[in-house]
Amino acid sequence: MSTVALANAAPAPSVEEETKQSLVEQTMGDAAERPPPSKSENIFMQIAVHPDGTITRPVVPSVPASLDAAVSSRDVPLDASLGTYIRLYLPSSPVDPPSTKLPIILYFHGGGFVIFSADTVFYHASCEAMAAAVPAIVASVDYRLAPEHRLPAAYDDGVAAMLWLRDAAHEDPWIAAHGDLARCFVMGSSSGGNLAFNAAVLTKGVDLSPAAVRGVLLHQPYLGGVERTPSEAASGDDFMLPLEANDKLMGLALPVGADRDHEFSNPAKAMAPEALVGLPRCLVSGSDGDPLVHRQRGFAAWLLDGGVEVVARTDRAGFHAAELFVPEKAEELFAAVREFVHGGGEP
């Protein structure tokens, strides 16, 4: 696969764009110069787990928020005592006419609950691009990571972010001027999809006024189970999410002693059906080349059986996290988000 720039990169090259391109090259490789990345080069495989249970993470570039980009961004605290925050993204020309308010997408990044943050270079770029493409105000949550903070710590931070929509968002100048709190959506990618689902379940009975959650968007949600699905069993050498890395990440994230059938990993097997009652409509999106795709299809079916209104789009070509590196895949995802948020129908 040839190296590609991240979606919707700024037209003028910069140190930030060069960093993005370099990371893409490290992650995706360049077919003209070398073969596709091997399992040993996978960033998750580079997480070193020490005998005492601590880990050393590989260094991944991060970028600061910026008020000078085509999409402005800035950080606001979520819980200063925990070091959590929210990075807000506002399109420079939000909507036409300007008096129209934007929906708000509360977004949770991926990384297996173990790595990456809201300021990680490719998640920052993706949120910039999504804010402009939908358009929407994107509120990307920086939550606590495992194994220092095993689940349900990230879920607790997700709930705190949902309550931020109720308690503090209306006081933010960007949201007060441009945001429509009556049209909030909860979204996550990979482990962030798992987190978004659980945050929505945990708060579905909570009055979030003046905010109202209209839908939940789960992109390639990171789920698992003791019994392998066919796509998991075939993923031993997957370049983006090899099976060994999949098991490592969930092992670091789950409560000590829990197996992959724990409800944090396999809600379709372990979560009470009553937990789905009152859940807003859900978009479940995925790709046919993702090792998690069969798990995601089963999850979408479980939601539907539980009475949730589901838009399932798990048959598109691609691989895990392709939208972070392939512009066409980013555009495809953003089109689905745009239709779900603005159109209310199937993407």
Pairing of β 84-91 and β 71-79? antiparallel
Instruction: With CA atoms as reference, report the closest residue to 49 among 152, 146, 120, 155.
Output: 146
Using alpha carbons, list the distances in angstroms from residue 263 to 194, 225, 293: 11, 9, 18
Contact 223, 267 (CB under 8 A): yes
Cα–Cα distance between 280 and 173 in angstroms, integer? 27
Q: Which of 286, 281, 284 is nearest to 301 (CA)?
A: 284
Burial 181-213 (b: 16+ CB within 10 A, else e): bebbbbbbbbbbbbbbbbbbbbbbeeebeebeb
Helices within the chain (DSSP H only): 15-28, 121-133, 153-167, 173-178, 191-203, 230-233, 243-253, 267-270, 293-305, 327-338
Residues noted as catalytic: 190, 290, 320
- Structure letter (DSSP) for residue 340: I
